[in-house]
Amino acid sequence: MNGETVLKTKKWIRTAAVAALVVSAATACGSDEQKVKGTPVASPKASPDAKVAPLRPAPGDKAPPLEQIKYGLEGRVIAMAGMVAKPTTSTCDTGEVTDQPQKFTCTVTYMGTEVPFSVETKGGFILMQYTATPTKGGVISREGVHAQAWKNYGVYGGKAARSLRCDEIPEVRLVPVDKPSGYKCYVGEGGLKGDYDVIVGSNGMRFH
């Protein structure tokens, strides 16, 4: 998604043998290393929701556009963090959204971490469109990464679940948007074996 929202109202024989042994040993060593990267990930106590929403009541269709924008941005931040809902708050540096084009900043606070967005409305009385772009990065959370890693790999059980590990991730922090976050999760055995970058997008989290 591009971050645009519409509101109502708004991825030699002996030598050769020795060389083969060296390669074999290196491969085995690499495999063992992969199995112990990071820390184990267990089945989460709560599965991440398919649809996330802030924990506070949603504004109605007749609520002021600014309140609907703030609520939508809080939902996006929760999705970035791994779709595990936590309390959020939001503020904007404008008091209202009119039917004229506007530019302003809104900041969502998630577990004490601020995620600012540059917001631009296109105006409109019946239907109002707006774009919101994170300006300092997206938010990553340990609980959210573990929940999403389990949802992607652990639910299949067997070797994938037993060997699933992730880097030591902070409880919550800002990371670049739509780029490798610097953190990985690993499946050490089975058909899904591999290293996976955790990527926080402007509308959610994915592994690549």
Q: What is the pLDDT of residues 157-175, one digit of tens each?
A: 999 999 999 999 999 999 9
191 confidence band (pLDDT: 50, 70, 90): very high
Mean pLDDT, the chain, integer: 84
The whole domain housing 181 covers: 38-46+140-207
Q: Is the pLDDT of residue 178 over 50?
A: yes
Domain count, the chain: 1
Q: Tell me if 129 is assigned to some domain.
A: no
Are 163 and 32 in contact by the 8 Å Cβ rule? The answer is no
Q: How confident is the model at residue 26 (pLDDT cuts 50, 70, 90)?
A: very low
Q: What is the DSSP string of 69-111?
A: HHHHHHHHHHHHTTS----EEEEESSS---SS-EEEEEEEEET
Yes or no: say if 136 and 174 are a contact pair by the CB < 8 Å rule: yes
Is residue 58 assigned to a domain? no
The pLDDT score that the predictor gives to residue 48 is: 64
150 φ/ψ angles, rounded to the nearest 5 degrees: -65, -40
Q: What is the pLDDT of residue 128?
A: 78
Task: Determine, yes or no, domain membership for 158.
Answer: yes
Average pLDDT, integer, range 83-101: 94
Token readout for 5 is 């929202």
Amino acid code (one letter) for 106: C
User: Could you tell me if residue 183 is inside a domain?
Assistant: yes
Find the range with the poorest average confidence among 49-63, 90-104, 127-141, 152-166: 49-63
Rounded CA gap, 74 and 27, in Å? Answer: 46
CA distance 184 to 207: 8
Is residue 75 a contact partner of residue 139, using CB atoms and an 8 Å limit?
Answer: no
